[in-house]
Chain A
Amino acid sequence: MNNIKTFLVLILLVLLAGLPFLIKGIAPGWWELFSHILTKIFLNVAFGLCLWMMLQAGMLSLGQGAFIAISAYMTGILSVKYQLVTNLWLCYLIGALTASVVSLLLGLITVHLRRIFFLLVTWAFAEMLHPILTSFENPFGGAAGIVNIPPPSGISLFGEPGTGYYFITLLYAVVVTLIIWSVSLSKVGLIYKSIGQNDILTTFCGIHVRRYKLQVFALGCFLTGVGGGILASYLTAVSPETFTFFASLDIIMINLIGGMGFIMGPIIGAVILTGMNEILFAVGYYKMTVYGLMIILVIRFLPGGLISILAVLRTAFRRTGGNQKKGGEVERTVA
């Protein structure tokens, strides 16, 4: 089973790596649009997975947009506003570390709160940020934000910047996925899941729950922050309007639509939500109406998200033949 999975993942990666050359070969005019959408998908996959990991520990953060903003602004401030750091990669790292440290500080006073309060506090924190960014010319650039954020060095390796950002964000998404995947398969991931299900019982398994909650929050915000920095370069500008409440909502929607039961959930969710965002761009004003309707429909009819359809199919498949093999395996290992 695992070999098949690894094989499929490798094929997907090869396809994604070859895609730019394929599209440029067949329909070069379309590449700009494609690379734009795919870049956004890759960023959203990573953002979605970071929240997914936190959700495993029962931490629904409604402020992930703020952590993207912190890192994006940090990148802008360091590279353009004060021109302290010329290497953009270093900016992303510093931005991510800043987001991580802020999440730790926020976490210290909030992670032990009940879920609903954690949600409210992270939301309040994100909302708090907006007026601060808007009103301080120094260092945030006020309402206009910071413009002319340069691309990272080495981007010209791939020809035009569109392809460059495609590969950078692809790499980012792959690395984040791998990190979160291996964590979720380890005892640490099991501890996160246990905390999400019953934190008191987890405590009585000898686990310092608060430490692990802080850890997952800080890790999630660090990985999110790296993407925030890349996003700043990609958009070449950051302004308060880039990081509204809806940026945070999108990341939750990714998990809701895709489903939180499996790591594939937010990946599928990111693809669908990004595509939907592009289409809904046309309806503009009514975007939130469509969003609201989707949230209601998914929660009512598909609480496990789209991935739950696959899970149901898999169980049906197992029932027809896979089950016996698994039982035999267990007995062997125990004996």
Chain B
Amino acid sequence: MLEVEGIVKSFAGLMAINELSFAVHRGDLLGLIGPNGAGKSVTVNVITGFYRPNRGSVRYRREEITGLRPDLIVRKKISRTFQHSTLFFDLSVIDNISMGVRTTSEVGLMEAVFKTGSNRQKEKRIRERAEEVIALLKLERHAYEEAKRLPYGLQRVVSMGTALAGNPDLLILDEPLTGLISAEVEEVMDRINYLHTRGLTVMIIEHNMRAVMGHCNRIVVMTFGTKIAEGTPQEIRQNPEVIKSYLGVSS
């Protein structure tokens, strides 16, 4: 589904990713794991078009998307969340999620001014979709609350909702568990699992290997901008390279 091939990205001569290649297959729950500073987030930013790689290519459904504008990549149904809780804090939960809803043709200014029939229909569809996502994530009770008033864990869920509202085929979650207490970790992972079982392809970026190990079907391990291992959780656990540079240190 998504193929990353030979990506090189450096910042002012500092190599962030070096010759990184991996693939996400349809139906995967892929974990991209590595210690802080391994280049995981840079990888996500390259895939989603926020950074342009120095070399290499990203293909999505056999189509070259390297260096495409981020909003156009999103429109190809790749959604992402951000490392920190990134929301429209002053907007209500339903408005946050409505922002993620993508209509086939964007609401135009003129139809918004004159409240045309097609405009009413679009707005109604956006609202219905937002309510669907709210029900899916069990956020009904908070729909009209300002996002900044929610607890941290729920804010994470809302930002996932914004990403989901666009009906993505691939959802990239950048450290969805950071800063959560263990009960919240379970809750968020449960929701992710639920979405995965409903057929969504998910890629989780995480430095906490234990949290995601049990849930992923495939794992890619990165350190210092390169891939050191790729495989099923069992293979990763037994990989000497991973034990040496990652598991050995943190466990």
Contact = CB atoms under 8 A, between A and B. Distances in A.
Interface stretch (B19-27, B98-106, B218-226): B98-106
A324 interface: no
Contacts of B102: 205-206
Contacts of B123: 186-187
Interface string B149-167: 0000000000000110010
Given A189-B112, A197-B89, A197-B91, A203 B71 contact: yes
Interface in A177-223: 179, 182-183, 186-191, 193-194, 197-198, 200-209, 215, 219
A174 B69 CA distance: 39
Contacts, number: 95
A162 to B, nearest CB: 31
6 contacts: A183-B113, A186-B123, A193-B90, A204-B48, A204-B82, A206-B102
B86 A182 contact: no
Smallest CB-CB A-B distances: 4 pairs: A186-B112, A206-B74, A187-B107, A188-B112
Interface stretch (B2-10, B53-61, B136-144): B136-144
B109 A208 contact: no
Interface of A: 179, 182-183, 186-191, 193-194, 197-198, 200-209, 215, 219, 326-327, 330-331, 333-334
B29 interface: no
B175 interface: no
B99 A186 contact: no
A193 B166 contact: no
A327 B141 contact: yes
Nearest to B128: A333
B188 to A, nearest CB: 19
Contacts of B89: 197
B88 A203 contact: no
A24 B115 CA distance: 38
Contacts of B166: 205-206
B70 interface: yes
Interface of B: 48, 50, 69-71, 74-75, 79-80, 82, 86-91, 95, 98-100, 102, 106-109, 112-115, 119, 122-123, 126, 131, 134-135, 140-141, 143-144, 162-163, 166
B141 A187 contact: no
Contacts of A188: 107-109, 112
Contacts of A203: 70-71, 74
Contacts of B100: 205
Contacts of B87: 198, 201
Given A203-B70, A206-B74, A208-B71, A333 B109 contact: no
A201 B115 contact: no
Contact of B74 (A193, A205, A215): A205
A208 B69 contact: yes
A205 B162 contact: yes
B94 to A, nearest CB: 9
A334 B131 contact: yes
B140 A330 contact: yes
Contacts of B90: 193, 197
Given A202-B99, A206-B166, 7 more contacts: A179-B113, A183-B112, A205-B71, A205-B100, A205-B166, A330-B143, A331-B140
Contacts of B107: 186-188
B71 A326 contact: no
B54 to A, nearest CB: 22
B112 A182 contact: yes
B161 to A, nearest CB: 12
A330 B109 contact: no
A193 B91 contact: yes
Given A204-B48, A204-B70, A334-B131, A187 B98 contact: yes
B99 A194 contact: yes
Contacts of B91: 190, 193-194, 197
Contacts of A331: 140
A322 to B, nearest CB: 12
A331 B102 CA distance: 24
Contacts of A330: 140-141, 143-144
A152 B44 CA distance: 59
Nearest to B131: A334
Contacts of A183: 109, 112-113
Contacts of B131: 333-334
